[in-house]
Amino acid sequence: MAIVSATARALRLLQRLEEDAAWRLLRADNAPIVAALLKEHLDGDATRLDAEDLYERLDADLEDLRTHGLSLPQTAQAYVKQWRDAGFLVRRAAGDTRVETLELSGAGVAALRFLESRDAPRRSLTESRLASLSTQLRQLAIDTDPSSARRLERLLEERDALDARIAAIQEGRDDALAGERAIERVQDLLAQAAEVPDDFARVRTEFEELNGLLRRRILESGESQRAVLDDVFRGVDLIGESDAGRSFAGFSALVLDPSLGAAFEEDVRQVLERDFARSLTVAERRALREFLTTLKDRSAEIHDVITQFARGLRRYVRSQDYQRDRVLRGLIQEALGSAREVADSIKPWAPLGIDQPLTHVALRSVGALALHDPSEFHAAREIETHDGEVASLEDLRALARATEVDFDELTANVNTVLTAARARGDARASVTVGDVLAAHPATQGVASIVGLLALAAAHGEVPEGAEPEPLAWTGADGAARQARVRRHLFTAPIGGASARTAFPSHTRRPL
Number of C-beta neighbours around residue 20 at 10 A? 16
Domain end, chosen from 292, 323, 343, is at 343
User: What b-and-e string marks burial along 456-483, b requiring 16 or more CB atoms within 10 Å of the CB?
Assistant: beebbeeeeeeeebebebeeeeeeeeee
* 363 within some domain: no
DSSP 199-247: HHHHHHHHHHHHHHHHHHHHHS-SHHHHHHHHHHHTT--TTTTSHHHHH
Out of 325, 343, 361, a domain closes at: 343
According to the model, what pLDDT value does residue 45 have? 65
Is residue 219 situated within a structural domain? yes
Please tell me whether residues 321 and 434 are part of one structural domain.
no
In a domain, 307, yes or no: yes
Q: Is 191 a member of any domain?
A: no
pLDDT of residue 199: 67
Sequential pLDDT tens for the chain (511 residues): 444 578 888 888 888 877 788 888 888 888 889 889 988 888 766 777 888 889 999 999 999 999 988 888 889 899 999 998 888 888 877 665 567 888 888 788 888 888 877 776 555 455 556 666 667 777 777 778 788 888 788 888 878 888 887 887 777 777 776 777 777 777 777 776 666 666 666 777 777 777 777 777 777 766 666 676 666 666 556 666 666 676 667 666 766 777 777 877 887 788 888 777 778 788 778 877 777 777 777 777 777 777 777 777 777 777 777 788 888 888 888 888 888 888 888 877 888 788 877 777 666 777 777 777 777 777 667 777 777 677 677 776 776 666 778 888 888 888 898 888 888 776 667 888 888 888 888 888 888 888 888 888 888 888 887 788 898 888 777 888 888 888 888 888 887 544 454 544 434 443 3
pTM of the model: 0.48
Provide the domain limits for residue 288: 204-343
Together in a domain, 407 and 324: no
Domain count, the chain: 3
List the beta strands (DSSP E) in 40-189. 48-50, 89-93, 100-104
β-partners of residue 93 are: 100
Paired residues of 89 in beta bridges: 104
Q: Tell me, yes or no, whether 198 lies in a domain.
A: no
174: left (phi over 0), alpha (psi -120 to 50) or beta: beta
Q: How far is CA 55 from CA 79, 106, 433, in A?
A: 9, 21, 77
229 and 297 assigned to the same domain: yes
Q: Same domain for 209 and 338? A: yes
Report CA-CA distances (Å) from 474 to 84, 108, 454, 488.
74, 82, 19, 20
In this structure, the answer to whether residues 326 and 422 fall within a common structural domain is: no
Query: In this structure, is residue 35 part of a structural domain?
Result: yes
CB 268 within 8 A of CB 289: yes
Domain boundary among 64, 86, 119: 119
Q: Which amino acid is it at 16?
A: R
